[in-house]
Amino acid sequence: MSPARRRVGAARAALAGSVVASAALWGLAISLLAWLALSAIAGVAGRSASGLANAPGMRSVVALAAGVAVATAVLRRGRRAWSLEAVALWLEEQVPALRYALVTALDARFAGADPALERAVAAARWERPLRRALARTLLPPLAAVAAAAVLTWVLTPGVAMGRNGERGAPARSAPARATSADAPSRLAPLRASVMPPAYSREPEQTLHEPSTIAALVGARVVLTGRGSAAGIVAAAGDAAAAVAEIGSEWRLELAMPTRAAAIRIRDRRFERIIVLEPRADSVPVTTLTSPPRDTVFRTPGGTLGLTADAQDDIGLSAGWLEFIVSSGEGESFSFRSGTVGRGTFGGSKRGNLRATLSLDALGLKAGDVVHLRAVVRDNNAVSGVSVGYSETRTLRIARLGEYDSVAVEGAPPPEADRSEVSQRMLIMLAEALERRRQSLSRTALTGESGRIARDQARLRRRVGEIIFARLGGEGSAEHAHGDDDAASGAGGRRLTPAELLKAAEAATGSGVGEALDFEGDETPVVAINRPLLEAYNAMWDAERELGVGEPRRALPHMRAALAAIQKARAAERVYLRGRPPAVVVDLDKVRLGGKLENVGAEPRTPRADASSPAAARAARLVAAIGLLVGDPRGASDSLALLRVDAVESAPSLARALGDAIEALRAGRDATAALRSARRAAAGEPASRSQLLRWGGAW
Amino acid sequence: MSEFVFATAQYESGDWDSAPLVPPNIIDSVARYTGIEVAPTGAIVPLSSSDLFRYPLVYATGHLPVRFTAAERANLRTFTERGGMLFVDDHNHDIDGAFHKTASEEIRAAVGPLVQLPNSHALYRAFFRFPDGPPATSHELNGWGDNLVHAHLQAVMHGDRVAVLYSNKDYSSEWGYHPDNKRFLSVDNTRFAVNIVVYALTR
């Protein structure tokens, strides 16, 4: 075979192959398009149509025949590609420089006659026009096939189901099968079977055409509809749910979640939303009926009957009575605990606990406190056992003599403390002076005693300030009487403590602390300040003796003053339990007076404004109601989704929405239910105790 | 803006009033170190009262077992959900005592479980810097209580916010003195209380 014949043969094979491929592609594209067209015709004709339109097998045959016919036509049109001479002439046309050398070289009569012909053919280049011809032949049918495939992908439910099946459905889902695009919805009629958890012992329920399914958390919910599962897509909340096919029905099975959710089921253009409304298993409730109140026992003995009632919405499992004994006081406490009266309820909804507690066996001491409560648990095997507790009763064993006193709490150091320390020092100085008395001259003794007297006078004035500040808030009241005659009356006569206090109380006119009880007929003012007044007068006497150089005679007065201060100090530390001392911080005095070391506050990230969930719900409700006229199905779905969000946070709104949805789906008038929903969404009317400030306009 | 009022929680069980000097001491520190407008006296608020919602920070302490009533539990839950912060300090400074066990149980039931608060939390940088976490108390250092120096505080978190701050460190004893005596301390041991207040008011 000559080189020229070999080259032309290769070109012929490429052209013939492209014709065959083109025929196959055109045939495939036409088959797909024909099948889609026939399916569309069948959809328009409806289920009542018969014959070609409604027979899937026949549609396929017709589509295949159309494809074969077109392929045959294409092959026939390109039949010249099988002829070597025709291909050579086509190449001569594409490469004019050959000047018929190629046709001549292939002619048997001239084959090998002229080497110049073979050289001319060998020099010719026809690869480029050959590639262009191949592209022209293959690209149009390829595009047609791609378009047909896309149309099939988009318009055929079976293919769509397969796509979704890859994303969410498990392998056991039904295989994709074609369902007519305009076939009736398989989402109605819809039946829901609700199987509560076994521990609840509640019966199975069947609901028809449900818009809401309310059940215990963990209940098994099975939705069933007619038809195959092919093309039905479902999601519960954000998670895809598997739709299976059993016999002639599709079936969706899921567990009741812990939070409200919406199930969306889609069948082609049909969609259905069902609200899952979980009902949580309530925590069991128990009440300690005996002892009915807190008690104080005078002696730690005897027995105590304990009883408690219990109830649960589903069923009780067990219960017991629990006690804790706390002993000690102040910063030192010890504790013991235990249980009595443990019992089981066998799943009943009501029950009671009984026990006897021996106080002797507990070994209680004075001051001990017994804390009692009942504990019950339910049977919840799904979300975990819930435990309920009763209120706690406390039984206290009285302390000896506790009724004669009040509890003593920690207290700030009273102002008199400073005086007390100083008085001790003055006594020590006076005693030391008295011991050295024999070795001192009268002048030296008088001089040193005079210095102690001046300190004593200073201390007396400080005590006086405390007294007068308390009585009338006027710290310098003593000075009003003259520095040298502090406790003298108007007539220059020195007042007794009782007279002075009486005058002070009259001056204040308040009768401070009248609610408190004090001994005898003394008013609180006199009773509280008497010790300090006694100290004040004793200091006065001591000061006088020290001033004349008689520390020995001054010492009894000084010791009396110290004893009185001690008494006042003890009185300061008594506080009634439940009324802690009200320490008032002098803010102006301490403001920004601290050392700012190791300060390094970091800037905080501002939080987003808190939006009002109630306002958002109200806006969604208004928007959903607005859809009612133009898109009632969309409105119903919007209300259902709003209900999902409202189940936990706004139960009254959720109830009203449920009524409205049921009414809408049943074709009834939903006005009343929607009005209730709007009222619930708006919330309770706000009432104010006073008018709002005027806003500038009526 | 109204002034900050330091509130002490009054609950039905236990000795809620065991640390009466802590509030004035903290109030003193808030005034001493910050410009926060603060009331000169604290308030006592029943945990079951709606008055609870008037206070951004509520302090609770005690030695005895804590058993909240249903009303207290519900109120506390709402209080923390609305942004309030509860600071609970075990006055027994231990980890397995009756107060700790009962209080943590009640907190879990009312608000949520306590988790360990990392020492890098913003609470320790809210005003003063505490790079090592919560300051140790003298009771811990002396070996009283459970003989431990607790390295962390615990908390119930609502998102990134502390809803309940729980301490086993017995700050109630550490801070339970008259504020006038603060002048005797070389380092004020109530500075951490300022962080708690600033955190509660700003986060």
For position B61, what pLDDT does the model report? 94
Please tell me if residue A373 touches chain B, with a CB cutoff of 8 Å. Answer: yes
The list of chain B residues with pLDDT below 50 reads none
Measured between CA atoms, the residue of chain B closest to residue A412 is B178
Cβ of A604 within 8 Å of Cβ of B129? The answer is: no
The arithmetic mean of pLDDT across residues A623-632, rounded, is 87
For position A487, what pLDDT does the model report? 40
Q: B177 to chain A: which residues are within 8 Å by CB?
A: 410, 412
Alpha-carbon distance of A369 to B15, in angstroms, equals: 11
Instruction: Give percent of chain A with pLDDT exceeding 90.
Output: 19
Substitution target from A386, A585, A591 for chain B, most B beta carbons within 10 A: A585
For position B98, what pLDDT does the model report? 81
Alpha-carbon distance of A290 to A306, in angstroms, equals: 5
Strand order in the sheet with A205-208: A205-208, A190-195, A220-226, A249-255, A243-246
Confidence class for position A562, pLDDT limits 50, 70, 90:
confident
Measured between CA atoms, the residue of chain A closest to residue B28 is A585
Token pair in block for residue A517:
């009880």
Q: What is the pLDDT of residues A662-695, one digit of tens each?
A: 888 888 888 898 999 988 888 776 666 666 555 4
Q: Which residue has the higher pLDDT, A98 or B95?
A: A98
Alpha-carbon distance of A216 to A281, in angstroms, equals: 7
8 Å CB contact between A689 and A656: no
For position A417, what pLDDT does the model report? 44
Q: What is the pLDDT of residues A413-465, one digit of tens each?
A: 444 444 445 688 888 889 999 999 999 899 999 999 998 998 888 888 878 77
Alpha-carbon distance of A80 to B151, in angstroms, equals: 94
Instruction: Kindly tell me the burial class for residue B147, based on how many C-beta atoms sit within 10 Å of its own C-beta (0-12, 13-18, 19 or more).
Output: exposed
Q: What is the pLDDT of residues A132-143, one digit of tens each?
A: 888 988 999 999
C-alpha distance from residue A299 to each of A279, A515, A557, A653 (Å): 49, 31, 46, 57
Q: B203 to chain A: which residues are within 8 Å by CB?
A: 604
Chain B nearest-CA distance from A600, in A, is 6
Instruction: Kindly tell me the burial class for residue A565, based on how many C-beta atoms sit within 10 Å of its own C-beta (0-12, 13-18, 19 or more).
Output: buried
Alpha-carbon distance of A619 to A624, in angstroms, equals: 9
Measured between CA atoms, the residue of chain A closest to residue B43 is A582
Of the partner residues A580, A587, A604, the one whose CB lies closest to the CB of residue B31: A587
For position A698, what pLDDT does the model report? 44
- The SS3 call for residue A238 is coil
Alpha-carbon distance of B12 to B121, in angstroms, equals: 32
Amino acid at position A215, single letter? A
Confidence class for position A552, pLDDT limits 50, 70, 90:
very high
Plot region of B110 (φ>0 → left; ψ -120 to 50 → alpha; else → beta): alpha
Cβ of A583 within 8 Å of Cβ of B41? The answer is: yes
Q: What is the pLDDT of residues A482-504, one digit of tens each?
A: 344 434 443 445 555 556 655 55
Beta bridge partners of A332: A329
Q: A586 to chain B: which residues are within 8 Å by CB?
A: 40
Amino acid at position A97, single letter? A
8 Å CB contact between A269 and A206: no
CA A695 from chain center: how many Å?
38
Asked if pLDDT for residue A145 goes beyond 60, the answer is: yes
Of the partner residues B20, B32, B203, the one whose CB lies closest to the CB of residue A594: B32
Alpha-carbon distance of A415 to A464, in angstroms, equals: 12
For position B165, what pLDDT does the model report? 97
Instruction: Give percent of chain A with pLDDT exceeding 70.
Output: 76
For position B5, what pLDDT does the model report? 95
Token pair in block for residue A68:
């074969």
- The SS3 call for residue A448 is helix
Cβ of B178 within 8 Å of Cβ of A373? The answer is: no
For position A41, what pLDDT does the model report? 75
Residues 394-423 of A with CB under 8 A from B: 394, 409-413
Alpha-carbon distance of A292 to A277, in angstroms, equals: 39
Measured between CA atoms, the residue of chain A closest to residue B99 is A335
Token pair in block for residue B133:
């976490």
8 Å CB contact between A22 and A73: no
Measured between CA atoms, the residue of chain A closest to residue B139 is A331
Asked if pLDDT for residue A158 goes beyond 90, the answer is: no
Confidence class for position A508, pLDDT limits 50, 70, 90:
very low
Cβ of B32 within 8 Å of Cβ of A591? The answer is: yes
Nearest to A26 by CA among A123, A115, A143, A129: A143
Substitution target from B3, B6, B8, B13 for chain A, most A beta carbons within 10 A: B13
Please tell me if residue A692 touches chain B, with a CB cutoff of 8 Å. Answer: no
CB contacts < 8 A, A to B, total: 120
The answer to whether the Cα torsion of A16, A21, A26, A27 is positive or negative is positive
Measured between CA atoms, the residue of chain A closest to residue B68 is A391
C-alpha distance from residue B29 to each of A229, A591, A596 (Å): 71, 9, 11
First to last CA, chain A: 110
Q: What is the pLDDT of residues A367-419, one digit of tens each?
A: 888 888 899 999 888 888 888 888 888 888 887 766 544 444 444 444 444 44
Asked if pLDDT for residue A330 goes beyond 90, the answer is: no
Confidence class for position A221, pLDDT limits 50, 70, 90:
very high
Please state the three-class secondary structure of chain B as a single string.
Answer: CCCECCEEEECCCCCCCCCCCHHHHHHHHHHHHCCCCECCCCEEEECCCHHHHHCCEEEEEECCCCCCCHHHHHHHHHHHHCCCEEEEEECCCCCCCHHHHHHHHHHHHHCCCCEEECCCCHHHHCCECCCCCCCCCHHHHHCCCCCCCCCCEEEEEECCEEEEEEECCCHHHHCCCCHHHHHHCCCCCCHHHHHHHHHHHHC
Question: DSSP letters along A606-674, please?
Answer: PPPPPP-HHHHHHHHHHHHHHTTTT-HHHHHHHHHHHHHHHHHH-HHHHHHHHHHHHHHHTT---HHHH
Asked if pLDDT for residue A319 goes beyond 70, the answer is: yes
Q: Which residue has the higher pLDDT, A42 or A261?
A: A261
Token pair in block for residue A690:
């006073």
A507-515: long-range contacts, CB 8 A cutoff, minimum separation 24: A507/A471, A507/A472, A508/A471, A508/A472
Non-local (6+) Cβ contacts of A390 within 8 A are: A286, A287, A288, A308, A373, A374, A375
Cβ of A587 within 8 Å of Cβ of B40? The answer is: yes
Of the partner residues B20, B91, B128, the one whose CB lies closest to the CB of residue A409: B20
- The SS3 call for residue A534 is helix
For position A557, what pLDDT does the model report? 94
